[in-house]
Amino acid sequence: MQLKVSRRRMMALAGAAVAVPMRLRAAEPLRLGLTPVFLDNDAEVIARLRDAFGSGTGRSVELVQRRTYQEVTGLLLEGGVDAAWLCGYPYLLHEDALSLLGVPVWQGAPLYRSYLITGIDDPATSLADLRGGAHAFSDPDSNSGWLVTASDLARLGERVDDFFGRTLFAYGHRNVVRAVAGGLTRSGSVDGYVWEALSTVEPELMLRTRVIAQSELLGFPPFVARKDRADTAPVQALRGALLGLDASAAGKAALEMLQLEKVIAAEPALFDGIRARMRDLAAL
């Protein structure tokens, strides 16, 4: 009899020991990676996103920020975050390991352009006119803030370092605009969505720059997760929250601040234009 009681007690204790870690795991926050290349550390936007994802997933959400796309991508691949809001370029660089969760819609489509900008009084009318000048890029893993201009030059048989007299990485599209507006560089490569958004929130800054060239429409920066984690409960909860952002008050508030309309499901083919530019750059 005593043996049976001991076994029951041992089983109960073992069950309790298992249950505690399970509860702790359930309470762990969902971690989403972000970079100021895109969001520029806007505290209010970050707070709205956290609220929207928290209410949409029913979980606490931790937004993990790093300075570069490379750092955020590394965190994602190493399991430091559950998902990340990346650019189409780093997504394609690691396409074999990453799965699309959703893509934001801007101006009616999940697409955007890269803008080539100069100071407002600069006489340049095309990329060719910028030879020998100083140029600002946003991030070496940014499509709109690096790849588009680099591949445009590759199509002309030119390399970035040979064409421009000096280049710098500003690590933020807003910082690219500031570099050009302030005369630190003659020109810059910037996300067209960010440039247009800034024209409404910082018009005095935008009045000191102008767009001299635009790329074709390309796939908007997506939300992604590791393929081997895409079916886990946290990632599925985030996917549902993303695709339902426009259906909740918190989600609508976040989308409004970001000047976006909603997030939709998408296929890898959406990024074929970026893929083509990667091939052109590699062929130089």
Name which of 129-138, 172-181, 195-204, 233-242 the model is least confident about. 195-204
- Whether 16 shows a pLDDT value over 50: the answer reads no
pLDDT mean across residues, the chain: 90
Domain ranges, residue 134: 114-215
**CB count, 10 Å around CB of 125?**
10
Are residues 101 and 223 located together in one domain of the fold? Answer: yes
259 part of a folded domain: yes
Are residues 161 and 250 located together in one domain of the fold? Answer: no
Reading the block at residue 281, the tokens are 């750059």
Are residues 144 and 162 located together in one domain of the fold? Answer: yes
- Whether 252 shows a pLDDT value over 80: the answer reads yes
* pLDDT for res 36: 72
Please state the domain count of the chain. 2
For residue 234, name the pLDDT band (cuts at 50, 70, 90): very high
DSSP letter, residue 216: -
Reading the block at residue 269, the tokens are 């083919």
The answer to whether 90 touches 73, Cβ cutoff 8 Å, is yes
Are residues 209 and 223 located together in one domain of the fold? Answer: no
* pLDDT for res 41: 52
Distance CA(246)–CA(238), nearest Å, equals 14
Are residues 209 and 224 located together in one domain of the fold? Answer: no
Q: What percentage of the chain exceeds 70 in pLDDT?
A: 89
The CATH number linked to 16 is 3.40.190.10
118 part of a folded domain: yes
pTM: 0.89
- Whether 70 shows a pLDDT value over 60: the answer reads yes
- Whether 101 shows a pLDDT value over 60: the answer reads yes
**CB count, 10 Å around CB of 200?**
9
Are residues 202 and 228 located together in one domain of the fold? Answer: no
45 part of a folded domain: yes
Average pLDDT (101-107) is 98
Domain boundary among 200, 215, 230: 215
119 part of a folded domain: yes
Are residues 243 and 155 located together in one domain of the fold? Answer: no
Are residues 190 and 50 located together in one domain of the fold? Answer: no
- Whether 238 shows a pLDDT value over 70: the answer reads yes
Are residues 63 and 186 located together in one domain of the fold? Answer: no
Are residues 185 and 146 located together in one domain of the fold? Answer: yes
* pLDDT for res 222: 98
Domain boundary among 215, 240, 255: 215
For residue 132, name the pLDDT band (cuts at 50, 70, 90): very high
Q: Give per-residue pLDDT as tens, 46-67.
A: 888 999 999 999 999 999 999 9
Are residues 254 and 166 located together in one domain of the fold? Answer: no
